[in-house]
Structure 1
Amino acid sequence: MIETNAVESPQSYTVELPIFQGPLDLLLSLIEQQELDITKISLAQVTDQYLAYLDVIRDTNPDEITDFLIIAAKLIYIKSSVLLPKPPPSVAEEEEEDLGDELARQLRLYKKFKELAAHLRELEETGRRNFVRLAPPPRLEPKLIPGEVTLDDLLAAARQAFAVKPPDPVVDEVVSPVTVTIGQQMTLIRRELSTGRRVTFRQLLSRQRNRIEVIVTLLAILELIKRRVIRAQQPEMFGDIILEPDDHAAELTET
């Protein structure tokens, strides 16, 4: 008979039969290796021991006895099938399979799930020790060393930065913006090339006084190239762009 002492885990369950005594896992192993004929096992005795065991560990965590509940339900079904009247042979052959083979199949299935659970547990433990870098480490800017700067110095600098800005000085003279047109720049470029000489793009831009004149000069050059008055060449990659009169243009004189 099973002892009625407190049980700490499901692995302590022991089956005690005339032809077998040991844990449920060993019973499964012997059945799989065909070293034990399951048909010679008293199903009623196994069921009684199993239910007695469950009654002893009633207060244990339900997660620890889940595996046993499935087998207990199957054993109850097998026991009830043995005790109830048998159906006619013709019906029995069609609807009932051999109870010993069914129990062996259930035990093999139980072992398979236990092995899978152990494998998943091993993968979980292994995964806790592995770390995958999903992205390169961020580039951190070097930290500034405060040196002898104190918190009071930082506070004084912040107060100075957020202080009221003094009013802008009053300007008596208004400077008008310099205006230049594309037509004016086209005339200057045509005059520059009127003698058949060549000039570089860099030379033309270096003569301009501000950004506006540079932009207008560039637009004037593009317009002259479009009209086939001048042409642009770049003999070397990344070299200077040379501007010269186009062979198909008329004399480069002011209109």
Structure 2
Amino acid sequence: MISLAPLHFLPYHNAVEETDYKVKLDIFEGPLDLLLYLIKREELDITEVSIEKITRQYLDYIDTFRMLNIDLASEFIVMAANLIYLKSRTLLPKQEQPPEEEGDEDDPRWELIRQLVEYKKFKDAAGYLARREEEQQGYFPHQPERPELPPVETDPVAELSIFDLIQAFQKVLKRFESEHDFGQIVDDRFTVADKVEFLLTELQPGGRRRFQTLFEMATTKAEVIVTFLAVLELMKMNQFRVRQDLLLGDIEIERRAES
């Protein structure tokens, strides 16, 4: 399931008709979460981080957030500036390193690596405690009679984060840009409300669709962006949830069954 930190999704003013619409999600993830996600995706050890590669990927995410007019927390911008600074230092010869306290170390990455290691320790500990709490909820002081319960729906085996969803959206957008000619202007003033209604019509209760197929009808970049914002809104409304039944498999959008 997607773990959701407070980011505010605003309309894409360069392509989407100006409205007062906002999407607000609670996404409990920050810049260090994004860095750990990028490192894990590259299957690297934290101590083997390539500042140049991670910086480029991190800035790609920032660009996507800005394209969606996400009101980024200041920590994301501070981390971006810090990564660019570290990248610039790695390009300098040792004799030209800045005469600052942090310049005493041979590798300018170490302070960031220490932060990531410590953060991962706390994150893993919090995850362990959450699992223990869930296990303890299954214990009872007295053994009751076993009730007959309907079969419980199993959750997806692969955990997803909001960054997985953003990455899937980036792939859709890149594929769309490579397959479409933007020389022809199309007047499509879709709003998020329009796309919410469209997606609810396309996906009946209990139905599932691959994430990328939701954009097959789009004819412009603006429509792709608005469709993605509509997916986020439907997630916030608890109408849609994201699934990935196999690790590295297709991401699917599932509409919750009506109770």
Whether TM-score is above 0.5 comes out as no
Larger RCO: 1 or 2 (CA < 8 Å, sep 6+): 2
| TM-score when normalising by structure 2 | 0.28
| TM-score when normalising by structure 1 | 0.29
> Of the two, which has the highest radius of gyration?
1
